[in-house]
Amino acid sequence: MKQYQAHRFAVAPMMDWTDRHCRFFHRLLSRRARLYTEMVTTAAVLHGQRERLLGFDGAEHQVAVQLGGSDPAHLAQSARICADFGYDEINLNVGCPSERVQNGAFGACLMREPALVGDCVAAMKAQVSIPVTVKCRIGVDDQEPAEALGALAEVVIAAGADALIVHARKAWLTGLSPKDNRHVPPLDYALVHALKQRFPHVPIAINGGLATLDQMRAELDFVDGVMVGRAAYQDPALLLAVDPLFFGEEAPFSDAEQAILAFVPYVEARLAEGVPLNAMTRHVLGLFNGRPGARAWRRHLSTEAVKPGADARVLRAALVHIDPRRRPLNEAA
């Protein structure tokens, strides 16, 4: 199988999690992982505060924006706006099962309307020169997964989709909460592997349930890439292994402590703009999971970062719980 690099390892778009602060920190841990925004609806792009919704730091590249919508014209216009912001990829959400998405008749609902998804992809492709990709499920509700996934893939590939990212579970729009939809429906990796065999020349990445680096790396025997969500967010130190393991390149830092110190200038710059400290430190709480001092690290940040006037000194002080050698010289041992 020809090696495909762009989506070889990606951090999934996650609502309320993969904001610009999270993505900047993740980029410190991996130069090569592809990063994704939270889903942004076309209504928000067209009528909302664009800089707040779409602005990002140039250090985040390669970074993709995920759009939610089902109107081809609105998606085309939104894609043009996002491309002008400098994103490296436009991704269409055909997998989110939340009630908000269902009410808007997009997200996972679109698994039932492959022709419409194809029209959406074609409309976006006509407006932008950057890649347009689709993230989908293997089906919804009572759909037969092989038929549903195959039908959607065939149409969007014909429409010019540059890659397909498949969350290898059904979404149940009735009977399961969005949280339950992330882990209750059974995984079917074999179906995604078969899809790659059917479309050997189309980049296909797999998502869902991948918890360990060994699992993730093993999937590259069958597909072009992996997309990882909760595992990367809840244990971000995992990302330090991505560049060596998936791209044969040196990690940006030798340990997580160095990454935190590299994060401090960004934190200080955002604090000067009025961003509260806890809006940034919430994304690093899991960094030292499994290490001595991890609980104290989390507790320190959770209690101190929310206080009025909290600044980057809170981060430096929290590191003392991981490495006591970092205790300030003027502080008693």
- What is the set of active-site residues? 96
Give whole-number Cα distances, 316 to 10, 206, 324, 326, in Å.
29, 37, 11, 8
Instruction: State the CB neighbour count (10 A cutoff) for residue 329.
Output: 4
Please check whether residue 11 is in contact with residue 232, taking contact to mean a CB–CB distance below 8 angstroms. yes
Q: How many CA atoms lie within 13 A of 166 on its CB side?
A: 34
Q: Are 227 and 206 in contact (CB under 8 A)?
A: yes
Cβ neighbors of 169 (< 8 A, separation 6 or more) are 137, 138, 181, 185, 186, 187, 188, 208, 209
| HEC assignment per residue over 36-67 | EEEEEEHHHHHHCCHHHHHCCCHHHCCEEEEE
